[in-house]
Amino acid sequence: MPNAGLSIIAVTFAYCIYYFTWNSVSLRKWFDRKFGEDAAKIKWIYLIRWQGVFFFGVGSLLICLVQGIDLQSVGLDFKNWKPTLLWTLGLSSVVTVMNYFAARSADNLAMYPMIRTSPPWPNSLLVGSAFTWAMYLLAYEFAFRGFLFFTCREVMDLPLAIAVNISLYVLVHVAKGWKEAVGAVPLGIVLCLLTEQTGTIWIALLVHVVMAWGNEWWSYYWASRVRP
């Protein structure tokens, strides 16, 4: 099977595992019974993120190794660091400002921060959540903008490779509501174009991490102001 076919199947399978685990009522109830409801709120999110690390990241990495795919050819390279730094700083500034205003909306606060424990959070939780977010997004971007995108580019022209990437990228966000699904389209196109330009996943990863951290921290800030 061509590498592009393997990457499409692998990313789709990883998301299915992620989705059905996230929505497993029986598993979540077991977590609540085992750890207690308060602790389970934290451990549950950590489980979902580490599961993403395994299925998106480790799964994609193993396929690359078995297929003899050079990891530099799927975005794990350190070339073009100057445009990477400039684009990262520019886009990160934009998404930070957007997060500040978007995070206060009722729709956003109904979902974020994902760890639903009341403020104030201890430093260990702030650091632990930031770390697991970063690890999850490293695996996620390696799967989407690395393995999937570059293997599709081997057999597809750029518009088609982006279309395949965005189709799966949007589907991943559907469960979080139509606003995130629609917002994933322009963001995904921009990240794919920059990945194509630089030949690496680092802009997509770093901007995505800044976006996730910013949304979590701003959501935490606004939630702490509106919740008793």
Domains of the chain by residue range: 3-226
According to the model, what pLDDT value does residue 227 have? 55
Q: Tokens 């685990």 label which residue?
A: 21
CA distance linking residue 36 with residue 57, whole number of Å:
30
According to the model, what pLDDT value does residue 173 have? 87
CA distance linking residue 49 with residue 28, whole number of Å:
15
Asked if residue 55 has pLDDT above 70, the reply is yes
pLDDT average, residue stretch 58-84: 96
pLDDT average, residue stretch 129-148: 97
According to the model, what pLDDT value does residue 18 have? 87
Q: For residue 114, how many C-alpha atoms fall within 13 Å in the half-sphere facing its CB?
A: 19
Residue 184: CB atoms within 10 A of its CB come to: 19
pTM equals 0.94
Give the model's confidence band at 226: pLDDT under 50 very low, under 70 low, under 90 confident, else very high.
low
Amino acid in the structure at residue 30: W
Asked if residue 50 has pLDDT above 90, the reply is yes
Report residue 207 as tokens.
């901007």
pLDDT average, residue stretch 42-54: 95
Mean pLDDT of the chain: 93
Asked if 75 and 142 count as a contact pair (C-beta separation under 8 A), the reply is yes
Distance set, CA 96 to CA 28, 34, 99, 220, 221 (Å): 32, 37, 5, 14, 14
List own/partner pairs for 206-211 with CB under 8 A and 24 or more apart.
206/88, 206/92, 207/88, 207/91, 207/92, 207/95, 208/137, 208/140, 208/141, 209/133, 209/134, 209/137, 210/88, 210/92, 210/95, 210/96, 211/95, 211/99
Asked if residue 2 has pLDDT above 80, the reply is yes
Asked if residue 100 has pLDDT above 70, the reply is yes
Q: pLDDT higher for 164 or 176? A: 164
